[in-house]
Amino acid sequence: MGYLNNNQITVDAILTRRGRELLARGRNEFQITHFALADDEIDYSLWNTDHPLGTAYYGITLENMPLTEAVVDETQMMKYKLVTLPKRTVRIPIISVGQTAVTLTNGEEITISPRTINFEGGNTTFGYTATLSDSDVASFVGVTRTPAQNNGQDVAPSTPRTITDTEAAQAISVTGLGFTLKAKGSTLNQRKATLAIVGNETGGRVSISLTVNRITTGTTPGAGITE
């Protein structure tokens, strides 16, 4: 979503791929129940406390920055969402996954279980959104926890989406309380991607570098070729 034209309030909204899928299904599956705001376009380093015209002009550059238009790729829009935290919150919630890099071999799986620090119960309802930068590196699915695994509370993040082997290399996002990756190896070279995880309720962001080692094959010395 983008806000265009400084002289007139205009909302330019387009559906993401997930939105178009739900709309195409019919049966009232496309229901807008939540919305989010983001400030991807803003460079806060341009806040100028030394402006010669005083405090009213500290943010003049920010207020006149061009805003991006909406695009259909949800992995490239609204990366830095705005959040509302309870009053008297004194610590910024931090997303932790316990690791900054993962190395896998072909077919190997790993489950990433993010947690929110400095905010009790943070992101337990709507979970996290994870974006894998290259679907050729790994297959990718969001997972949920059962009520027993979540202190007896039911959890219902939005339906995750799996990357299939037939999809072209692309960045793709899924939502869940955890994420399972399965490495896709290559005989030509080592593959690398980035997994970025964002808290859907509290904000916060963490990135993990993913490396999948090249598939190596061997031959048996002296063995003949058979058909």
Same domain, 167 and 111: yes
Do residues 56 and 104 both lie within one domain? no
Instruction: Indicate whether 136 and 183 sit together in one domain.
Output: yes
Last residue of a domain, one of 44, 63, 82: 63
| CB atoms closer than 10 angstroms to residue 216 | 9
| 140 found inside a domain | yes
State the Cα angle at 30 between 80 and 132, rounded to 5°: 40
pTM: 0.67
SS3 43: coil
Q: Do 110 and 164 belong to one domain? A: yes
Please indicate, yes or no, whether residues 128 and 52 belong to a single structural domain of this protein: no
Does residue 220 belong to any structural domain of this protein?
Answer: no
Number of helical (H) and strand (E) elements in the chain, helices listed first: 2, 12
What mean pLDDT comes out for the span 55-67?
Answer: 86
In-domain check, residue 156: yes
**Same domain, yes or no: 58 and 148:** no
pLDDT confidence tier of residue 66, bands split at 50, 70 and 90: confident
- Same-domain status, 54 and 125: no
> How far are the Cα atoms of 159, 174, 182 from residue 162, in angstroms, in the given order?
10, 8, 11
pLDDT band, very low/low/confident/very high, at 218 (cuts 50, 70, 90): low
Nearest to 102 by CA among 63, 130, 72: 130
Residue with tokens 């620090």: 117
Nearest to 11 by CA among 35, 34, 42, 45: 35
Amino acid at 58: Y
> In terms of domains, do 26 and 101 share one?
no
* Domain of residue 26, residue span: 2-63
pLDDT at 210 over 90: yes
- Domain count across the chain: 2
Q: Is residue 76 part of a domain?
A: no
Q: Is residue 197 a contact partner of residue 174, using CB atoms and an 8 Å limit?
A: no
Query: Are residues 113 and 59 located together in one domain of the fold?
Result: no
CATH number of the domain within which 126 lies: 2.60.40.10
Residue 9 has pLDDT above 50, yes or no: yes
Mean pLDDT of 210-222: 77
The string of pLDDT tens digits covering residues 129-166 is 898 888 889 988 888 754 444 454 444 444 444 444 44
67: closest CA among 122, 5, 128, 112? 5
Per the prediction, the chain carries an average pLDDT of: 78
CA distance 224 to 65: 69
